[in-house]
């Protein structure tokens, strides 16, 4: 694995992360770990139940000199009703994995990415996207420079 990966848990995979990575970690925590989506199956009909969809980790921080992030992604989804869904990656036309008549699904795979990547759950029958998540790749280009003021100065 290259770079730092940040999951929904409280632990950073490498404890030597810079303050930039720490700030991004807390921002990712504020966004939450679950995406909720509902799909209306037609005018006048009732809405299908919400789908809980998550990917872990959700963020990879690349340091200077690193070009790609290689990490094991874990995708999970759950629904109160039986659904037939496929998982798609934004830059691919073929699904990564499909589930027929299921209320939940899990999938683990190796991801190599140099840019942020979106993942979608789509209905098999209609191709309608019902939920999406983003795996974000961030470059840590911290430049060292002198502070604008002295730390003891109040002005």
* Residue 120 maps to a domain: yes
CB 85 within 8 A of CB 130: yes
Q: What is the pTM of this model?
A: 0.63
Per-residue pLDDT of the chain (155 residues; tens, 9 = 90+): 455 555 444 333 333 333 334 444 434 433 443 333 333 333 334 456 689 999 999 999 988 888 899 999 999 999 999 999 999 998 889 999 999 999 999 999 999 998 999 999 999 999 999 999 999 999 887 666 556 666 676 66
* Residue 35 maps to a domain: yes
* Residue 154 maps to a domain: no
CA pair distance 75, 54, nearest whole angstrom: 6
* Residue 9 maps to a domain: yes
* Residue 150 maps to a domain: no
* Residue 96 maps to a domain: yes
CA pair distance 118, 75, nearest whole angstrom: 12
* Residue 146 maps to a domain: no
CATH code, 63: 2.60.40
Place of tokens 């700030």: 23
CA pair distance 60, 110, nearest whole angstrom: 13
Largest CA distance in the chain: 65
* Residue 119 maps to a domain: yes
pLDDT given at position 116: 92
Count of structural domains, the chain: 1
Give the structural domain span for 74: 4-40+48-139
């Amino acid at each position: 694995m290259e770079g730092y990966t940040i999951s929904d848990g409280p632990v950073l995979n490498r404890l030597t992360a810079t303050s930039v990575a720490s700030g991004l970690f807390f921002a990712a925590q504020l966004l939450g770990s679950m995406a909720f989506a509902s799909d209306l199956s037609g005018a006048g009909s009732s809405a299908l139940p919400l789908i809980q969809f998550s990917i872990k980790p959700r963020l990879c921080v690349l340091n200077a000199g690193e070009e790609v992030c290689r990490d094991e992604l874990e995708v999970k989804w759950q629904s109160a009703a039986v659904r037939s869904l496929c998982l798609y990656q934004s830059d691919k036309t073929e699904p990564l994995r499909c589930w027929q008549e299921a209320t939940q699904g899990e999938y683990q795979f190796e991801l190599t990415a140099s840019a942020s990547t979106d993942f979608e759950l789509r209905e098999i029958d209609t191709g309608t996207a019902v939920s999406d998540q983003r795996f974000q790749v961030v470059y840590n280009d911290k430049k060292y420079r002198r502070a604008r003021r002295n730390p003891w100065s109040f002005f």
